[in-house]
Amino acid sequence: MQSPEVPKTKRIVLIAHDNKKEDLVEWVQLHKDTLSKHHLYATGTTGKIVHERTDLPVHRFLSGPLGGDQQIGAKIVDGEIDVVIFFWDPLTAQPHDPDVKALLRIAVLYNIPIANNRRSADYLISSDLLASSYKKTTIDYSTGLPIY
């Protein structure tokens, strides 16, 4: 059973498609102090680049096309991810588009805040809720009612 509360120290996933990796790394560098207070996770290549360029510890899953997106989705279902920062490229078809769509769907289904570009990531990281505990709700889709 998932905890009803999101802890102060968040478990944040960082994902970026190839054409967006540099943008994500620059964003992480800008917010390094804040991100250093949380647990960071990433798909394989993104995690490697973020760690090399920022020296932040990053738990890496497989590369997205090799199953990393699905691994992250499973962690969301298990209640082990609190925030997703996913800089995706809307103009380039990805060989693993079904996995990307499944990850986005599962994040929404489990009420996980997700930022898909720099501006929404800025809003998320600057929220007072990022540094505090938060009562989590999800929806019971069989009844349409919130679960606290």
Residue 64 annotated as binding site? yes
Task: Please choose, from the candidates 38, 22, 60, 14, the residue with its C-alpha nearest in 3D space to the C-alpha of residue 127.
Answer: 38
122 is catalytic: no
Residue 31 annotated as binding site? no
Task: Please choose, from the candidates 135, 137, 133, the residue with its C-alpha nearest in 3D space to the C-alpha of residue 111.
Answer: 137
Residue 96 annotated as binding site? yes
Residue 137 annotated as binding site? no
Residue 44 annotated as binding site? yes
Residue of 23, 33, 69, 99 with catalytic role? 69
Residue 63 annotated as binding site? yes
Residue 43 annotated as binding site? yes
Binding residues: 17, 21, 43-46, 63-64, 96
The binding site for substrate consists of: 17, 21, 43-46, 63-64, 96
Residues recognised as catalytic: 69
